[in-house]
């Protein structure tokens, strides 16, 4: 959330993008996928920058497994899908 606040930029009125992130056993993003585009390229690039910035603070998933979850990004913040 903090990383998102520092990178957010957008051109459309109310952009929303849904992404699925896969975090590997070491706490790094193994895969990211845009499930629903906002159509606002500037916003989607800011979301990707926020994810890369936040990844530095990720901890490994509990139990040594892989974590995969969908997130909704909007100018108001980040929520779970």
pLDDT in tens, 52-74: 888 888 888 888 889 899 999 99
Phi-psi region of 33 (alpha: psi -120 to 50; beta: other; left: phi over 0): beta
Residue 1, pLDDT above cutoff 70: no
Delineate the domains of the chain, giving CATH numbers in brackets.
2-80 (3.30.2420)
Residue 36, pLDDT above cutoff 90: yes
β-partners of residue 2 are none
Q: How far apart are CA 45 and CA 16, in angstroms?
A: 12
Lowest mean pLDDT among 38-42, 45-49, 58-62: 58-62
**Using an 8 Å Cβ cutoff, are 60 and 26 in contact?**
yes
62 CB-near residues (< 8 Å, 6+ apart):
none
Rounded-to-5 percentages of helix, strand, coil across the chain: 30, 35, 35
Q: Give the pLDDT of residue 3.
A: 74
28 pLDDT band, cuts 50/70/90, is very high
Q: Give the pLDDT of residue 56.
A: 86
């Amino acid at each position: 959330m903090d990383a998102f606040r520092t990178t957010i930029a957008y051109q459309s009125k109310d952009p929303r993008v849904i992404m699925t992130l896969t975090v590997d056993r070491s706490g790094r993003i193994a895969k990211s996928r845009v499930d629903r585009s906002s159509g606002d390229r500037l916003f989607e690039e800011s979301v990707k920058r926020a994810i890369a910035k936040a990844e530095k603070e990720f901890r490994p998933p509990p139990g040594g497994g892989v974590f995969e979850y969908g997130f909704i990004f909007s100018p108001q913040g980040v929520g779970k899908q």
